[in-house]
Amino acid sequence: MRIDHTQDVSVIVPLGEHWLAECCASDFGIKTSMANIVKDLENWIELATGTIILAYDGVELVGFMPVFAVPSFLGPQLFALEKYWYASQGHHAAGPMMLAEARRWAKENNCSHLIMSASNIASNMHDKCCMFYDRVGLKLFETSYICEV
């Protein structure tokens, strides 16, 4: 497994399409599109210090994890904020390796904390993702709920 970085969002589009095929957003009445995600990430890259961490199994892209340094909403520090991370099925080593790289990147970019998400809309892996976070020493930070209006 090889880890790399990019700011070229187009690199993740083919793998992102696989992620959206696994996505559970329709269960919540949420519409998704890779075009919107690309636009969102391009805006973040333009406005914030950030990187897209990539995991390759040989030459094939098997994971991505965009991470951005943002001002803390709680005090005078920077937080590293992960958005949209994904590792393809059968490539479970990608998650821990990208997380380790995100921690390294956050420290290098003067962030005091790394905030990782676990979303029920992202896939049916929410509970396994939470167990992974617990196992590697992350602490539960927030819980969100949603309803249609």
Closest CA to 105 of 12, 1, 3: 3
Strand-pair category, 111-115 with 49-57: unpaired
**Residue carrying the six token digits 């539960």:** 140
Residues 2-135: name the CATH superfamily.
Gcn5-related N-acetyltransferase (GNAT) (3.40.630.30)
Asked if residues 97 and 1 have their Cβ atoms less than 8 Å apart, the reply is: yes
Q: Can you give the pTM of this predicted structure? A: 0.92
Per-residue pLDDT of the chain (149 residues; tens, 9 = 90+): 999 999 999 999 999 999 998 898 989 999 999 999 999 999 999 998 999 999 999 889 999 999 999 999 889 999 999 998 999 988 989 999 999 999 999 999 999 999 999 888 888 888 888 999 999 999 999 888 887 89
Q: Given CA atoms 78, 7, 143, 35 in this order, what sign does their dihedral have?
A: positive
Domain ranges of the chain: 2-135
